[in-house]
Structures are given as structure tokens and as C-alpha cells.
Amino acid sequence: MTETAFDASCRLCPRLSDFLDQVKAQHPGYFCRPVPSFGAVDAGLLVVGLAPGMHGANATGRPFTGDHAGILLYRTLHKFGFASASESLAADDGLELVNCRITNAVKCLPPQNKPVGAEVNNCRRFLAVELKQFRPGGVVIALGSIAHKSVVSAFGLRQKDFVFAHAAEHAMQNGITLIDSYHCSRYNTQTRRLTDEMFEAVFARARAMLD
């Protein structure tokens, strides 16, 4: 894997690039490019999601902004002091993250919100750079198993040694702790696979570790 700083013009994955072109034709006002991370590089908390949502980050250009998954995420970040407001409405709404950064395992919108393995692998070069720059002793929260696996791989570690489970904690290099959470998707919250209380417990743990 070649480590590369984020490239806002990346078109490395043909399927994703073609799909973004199609969506841009249908929604000319949408962002429809690789979505950059949000928050300071030297933050103590890094939240890693899966990929931009069609009418969320892909539309607004800010991770988890404009879709259902962002409602619970930003409300929780605000509750535990990681965000200046409880709602992220637009990239220019004035919301600021506090000692927190949000990124995605895949930077571009995938069809049906399902990136294929090659696309996750291609995009890992950007995540690897973020993790290399990440603060020693910090906390990474992976939202879902794909994000978890991409973080583990970006650290150069073996998947079998770090099994995904909600609220599981894993020791990474440089004193960094990886905490797993089910993704705050509409499906997971509506089926109660992930409750507000379960999600908040993960961030409460991160808050305690950073304090």
C-alpha cells in the first residue's frame, strides 16, 4: 500500500468516479467529489465512518452532514464536548469540532452505500497518512466493521488479532486505542441494533480516556 496525502481530485476507482459523474449530472449542486476529513489533524479523537452518503456528505462536502447517520453522531459529539453544536447542517454552518476529527474509510460515494474491497483498499492510502499523523495516545472510533478492518490494515496489523465487536477496545501503535461501534446508520438505529445509549457509551469511554 502506498501512503498518500488526501487528493481532492482522486479518480483511482473507476466505478466510483463514474458513479459520481452520474450523480453530479442528476444533482448539479451536489459536492460529488472525494469528501475531505473534518477537524484538526492533531485532534485526540478520530472517528472513522464508512463512506459519504448520497444526500449527506456527498451533497454537502462534510462527513456525516445532511443525512440520518449524522443526526446521532453530531448530537453525541456535542454531548461529550467534541463539537460546538449538536447539529451539522452544512459545510459552512459554523460548527466546529473540539479535539476531534471525522473521516471515512472510503472518501467517495459508492453505489448503494456499498464499496467493494478494491475501493476500500485503494482509499486506505489516505487513511494511513491520517493515522501516521494522529496524536500518540489518541482514540480512534471505528463505525462499523469495514472501518474497523481498514484501520487495522492501515496500521499494518493482522485482522485475526483484532476482531470487531461493539464497544471492543484494541491497542494500536503509539499508545492509540481503537474502539469499535456499530455504525450509526438509519438501519441500525431503527432496528435497535444500535441504541442511543450504546452509542453514547462508546463516546463516554473515549472522553474518559482522553481526559
DSSP string, 103-127: EESS-SPPGGG---HHHHHHHHHHH
Tell me whether residue 31 is in a domain. no
Cβ–Cβ < 8 Å for 10, 34: yes
Plot region of 113 (φ>0 → left; ψ -120 to 50 → alpha; else → beta): left
Nearest-CA neighbor of 74 among 86, 66, 56, 62? 86
Strand order of the β-sheet with 45-49 is 38-39, 100-104, 45-49, 139-143, 177-181, 169-171
Overall domain count for the chain: 1
Burial class (CB in 10 A: 0-12, 13-18, 19+), 117: exposed
Tell me whether residue 106 is in a domain. yes
Task: Residue 203: give its domain's CATH number.
Answer: 3.40.470.10
Tell me whether residue 27 is in a domain. no
Pairwise CA distance, residues 2 & 85, whole Å: 36
Pairwise CA distance, residues 144 & 120, whole Å: 13
Residue with cell 469499535: 180
Tens digit of pLDDT at every position of the chain (211 positions): 566 789 999 999 999 999 999 999 999 999 999 999 999 999 999 999 999 999 999 999 999 999 999 999 999 999 999 999 999 999 999 999 999 999 999 999 999 999 999 999 999 999 999 999 999 999 999 999 999 999 999 999 999 999 999 999 999 999 999 999 999 999 999 999 999 999 999 999 999 999 9
Tell me whether residue 28 is in a domain. no
Domain that holds residue 121: 42-210
What pTM does this model have?
Answer: 0.96
DSSP 97: B
